[in-house]
Every structure is written in structure tokens, then in C-alpha cells.
Amino acid sequence: MTNPAPPPTSGSSVPADARPAFAHASEAEMARILDFYAVRWVYEPDTFPILWNLDGDVVESFSPDFWLPDLGLYLEMTTLRQRLVRKKNRKLRRLRELYPDVRVKLFYARDFRALMLKYGKLALVDALSGTPGQVVGRRRPALPARVDLATLEVASIDAAAIVAPVDGAPIAVLSVEGGNSLEASPCRPVNRPPTPRRRPTRRPRP
């Protein structure tokens, strides 16, 4: 036996006892896999604006689940319904158009299933995927019927957005994501004279 080189240290940038609150069980499982193979990861570190309204406000963004700094790769897990896969595919296309240097890998339900099959954990797939895998405690609270736009901070709209007046003006864009959360973003009434679109100053990670 030769002198064994020390194995790489754990790749996780987060101690096991201080894990982030994963939104989905499949993400927690992926974090364990990355840890096992000593691949460093950061959970949801960056948000990329991908759509702006006429005032230049961000109305849609994309926050990949993992950033793998050693690989220069973002990883997005999608084990939910096909409708949401289509939505994520659309978001990913948009992201690649706007940020061509950003590498994102979309891990579909079938990819996750294949990974679990490979590791002999296929029996856990159903519990870790789709709706059963959602972590209830992390759900965002549903918005009240009357929305205080000043307190809203999340800006994300679905393709099937609902435009609803609040006290006449302005208008809030609401969307249902994953069937269990509501997000809203303040925007101007649709008949307001458009102003030049401006890009946000924040740029993605190089």
C-alpha cells in the first residue's frame, strides 16, 4: 500500500447542522449527494432578473437552486408537474438569452429518478419528488385579499398572470406558483405612458 493522499474535504460550504431550509426534499437529497462526492455548493445564492416592466422594474426572475463554485455551474431541480417544467424551461431559455455566460443545468424529474435508481434509492423517489416532496414549512404565506404593495419584495410572475386593481391604481400582478404560493410585484396600470426600459445595475456572477 502506498502513502494514501488525503481525500478531498467535504465540498459542502454549509455545516450539516446548519443546513438551509430546502424548499423541496429532492433538493435536500441532492445536497447530500454533492456532499458525498465532495462538491461544494451554495443554496439559492443568486437571483437573475429575466423580465422587466416598462418602468424598468424587475417583474420576473430566476433563482437556481444550487451554485457549484468549483464547477462554475448552477443547478436547478425540477421534480414537479409538467406545467412547471414548461415554465422553468421558458425561464431557462430567457436566462440563457440574457446571460449567455451563465451555465445552468436543469435537473428534471426523470434525471432525479435515474440518479436515485443508480444509487439504489428508487423507492424513495415518490416521496422526494413532486408535491409530496415539498417542504410545507417553507411555503410562502398566501397574500391577503388586500395587498399592501409597499411591503412586497418578491417579483415573479407566471405566464398566466392575473392583473388585479388594488384601490383603483396601481395594479398588482399576482401569480400562483406550484399551486401553493402567491407572489406579487407592483407595476403601473397598463394604460400608463411607457417609459424607456432600463436594465438593472446588478449583474450576474461572472
Partner 1 sequence: MIRPVDLVADIGEILVPEAHIQAKVAELGARISADYTDRQLTLVSVLKGSLPFMADLMRAITIPVRIDLMEVSSYGGTATESSGLVRILKDLSASIEREDVLIVEDIVDTGLTLNYLIRYLRGKNPATLRICTLLDKPARRLVDIPIDYVGFTIPDQFVVGYGLDYGEVYRNLRFVGVLKPEVYSEPA
- Binding-site ranges for partner 1 (CB under 8 A): 1-8, 10, 16, 32-39, 68, 71, 73, 75, 105, 107, 110-111, 114-122
- C-alpha cell of 127? 416521496
100: left (phi over 0), alpha (psi -120 to 50) or beta: alpha
- Measure CA 176 to chain center: 14
Residue closer to partner 1, measured from CB, 27 or 183: 27
What is d(CA 110, CA 94) in angstroms, rounded to the nearest whole number? 23
- C-alpha cell of 90? 421558458
Taking the complex as a whole, the smallest distance from the CB of residue 122 to partner 1 amounts, in Å, to 6
89: left (phi over 0), alpha (psi -120 to 50) or beta: alpha
Residue closer to partner 1, measured from CB, 66 or 161: 66
Residue closer to partner 1, measured from CB, 25 or 187: 25
What is d(CA 50, CA 155) in angstroms, rounded to the nearest whole number? 11
Taking the complex as a whole, the smallest distance from the CB of residue 37 to partner 1 amounts, in Å, to 4
Taking the complex as a whole, the smallest distance from the CB of residue 107 to partner 1 amounts, in Å, to 8
- Whether omega before 170 lies within 30 degrees of 0, making that bond cis, reads yes
Taking the complex as a whole, the smallest distance from the CB of residue 68 to partner 1 amounts, in Å, to 8
Residue closer to partner 1, measured from CB, 30 or 50: 30
- Alpha carbon distances (Å) from 36 to 8, 42, 108, 116: 11, 15, 21, 14
Taking the complex as a whole, the smallest distance from the CB of residue 93 to partner 1 amounts, in Å, to 18
Residue closer to partner 1, measured from CB, 32 or 140: 32
